[in-house]
Chains A and B, each alone.
Chain A
């Protein structure tokens, strides 16, 4: 019998009653940590009409699901969500708490951590236990990896992006307990999410694209950025970016790949005019073939790809586009 105290927690998230992929991925990693700690995996899920989803969490690896099922919880409400989770954590005293770094998770995690006066790490690309069973969060920074620990306070909290861990295979025969949660009645009521509005994203979605073309500061200006966008369009690829390109205003935050952006694992990645900063490159570790175009032969990006082109990307990209079109035309005529 596994011990029930000091569990590993995952705060699951649903949108329109769909549990997000990152929640399943975190349950998979929580199982590994719980096995090493000799404890169980408990998941908190808040929403409306989501009883069936609690079953999916058990199939993915949860031993216990705390289920808040009420109209007031249908979508992320900071005040109620924080109140429920902080109160429950004070009772159950989890050893570890993992949260997906979605927009809601990125707001909720620091609210919970501050409410529990404990430590929280961001942008983890790996989670493991040291010889004293303390959680180590591996975080890319300064061209290397930082190990961050929370030695005394509990729970040890971390946020993790979609795609860092793989989803476990669901096992429908797994059994687990579903514990219904009460919605607290007495709240200050100082903040309320009135509605969630979805806007259809343009172009090919990054996370599932077979080809990703990413641009960086080397684009130089909007015109240069336009060439990189043209290359992406020619290849029917998703367009990604680095933080400097976002900061310059050439593209939206949604296109940023890496530590504080999206994780991608395409068949082909082409990095254009970017320097190979780790904060970006950690987002592409799963790519099959990687290409970099950079005018600096000494750039660290060339240590991280399969094929390198040393050239001014503003000159090279239009030529590459022509060659790709020629190749495509040949395919059609043969």
Chain B
């Protein structure tokens, strides 16, 4: 049986994320009540797992790290068809950078036990570093392929995948167990079904904290993070705008004239 672990992240809803701003005076983040949602590209990772399960004998475990409300995105993945959900949640995990996040997730994967494929979205909509997948692989001492946009050969011990790159792709041969981070091009994620939501009610989410993972405090969260945010600045450099007014035709004509005068069209 193919054992799949899908790592997902609860991110501020991208449609409302612009409401999170830096207070220019206190230099802290002003968090309005932006809801947490399942990171968009993690839906592609989840869809890849579900398609593999439809074709092969597979078991899907979903894993996330975050505050207790992040449990909702794990629940969403269970409703999509995952078999089991884990949420790594602890005050001590707070303030983690990409490395501490990857380290903690990797410890969670080790504790879950056997795994053949770890799937992650290529990037999160909030940090979008693309670091977590490769760094999970490093901690687990297994190979990784990032930006996977097509599974060419799969099912056996060696897989072949296309990894997206500038104006083309790399054809990569990789031996399981491996981490794959997936791009949006890989598939079209399915939407939640009512029966899925009903079935998910019976599935459980296991919550693990620092004690269950048996980790020292200095290895996780802010303490386990090599990088820190040392300062926040609101931006000041701006251009002086000229708003062009009039009817729609007048505005268009004036704009064309101004751009022609500037010699740019």
Chain A interface residues toward B at CB < 8 A: 75-76, 78-79, 102-104, 106-107, 109-111, 113-115, 117-123, 130, 136, 142-153, 190-201, 210-211, 235, 243-244, 246-247, 249, 253-254, 259-260, 267-268, 275, 277-278, 288-292, 297, 302-311, 315-316, 319-320, 322-324, 326-327
Contact = CB atoms under 8 A, between A and B. Distances in A.
A110 B18 contact: no
Nearest to A297: B243
A194 B171 contact: yes
B200 interface: no
B203 interface: no
12 contacts: A103-B147, A104-B165, A111-B135, A142-B232, A191-B174, A200-B167, A288-B262, A290-B239, A302-B243, A316-B251, A319-B248, A323-B249
Interface-centre pick from A119, A246, A275 (highest chain B CB count, 10 A): A119
Contacts of A110: 98, 102, 129-132, 134-135, 138
Contacts of A260: 123, 128
B227 interface: yes
B204 interface: no
Contacts of B154: none
Contact of A197 (B169, B229, B239, B248): B169
A191 B239 contact: no
Interface-centre pick from A191, A194, A260, A267 (highest chain B CB count, 10 A): A191
Given A114-B139, A147-B229, A275 B165 contact: no
B122 to A, nearest CB: 9
Contacts of A113: 99, 131, 135, 226
A290 B239 CA distance: 9
Contacts of B168: 196-199
B59 to A, nearest CB: 23
Given A192-B172, A316-B251, A327-B265, 10 more contacts: A103-B146, A113-B135, A118-B226, A144-B24, A144-B234, A146-B231, A150-B227, A243-B125, A244-B15, A323-B253
Nearest to A108: B134
Interface residues of B, number: 82
B184 interface: yes
A278 B28 CA distance: 17
Given A114-B134, A114-B139, A121 B172 contact: no
B22 A148 contact: no
A143 B234 contact: yes
Contacts of A322: 252
B128 A122 contact: yes
Given A194-B172, A308-B241, A211 B264 contact: yes
A275 to B, nearest CB: 7
B100 to A, nearest CB: 10
Q: Which 9 pairs from chain A and chain B are nearest by CB?
A: A119-B226, A114-B138, A119-B227, A147-B231, A144-B22, A191-B143, A268-B264, A103-B165, A110-B131
Contacts of B235: 143-145, 278
Interface in B154-199: 160, 163-175, 178, 183-185
A306 B241 contact: yes
Given A111-B144, A195-B171, A320 B227 contact: no
B143 A148 contact: no
Given A278-B235, A288-B264, A306-B242, A148 B230 contact: yes
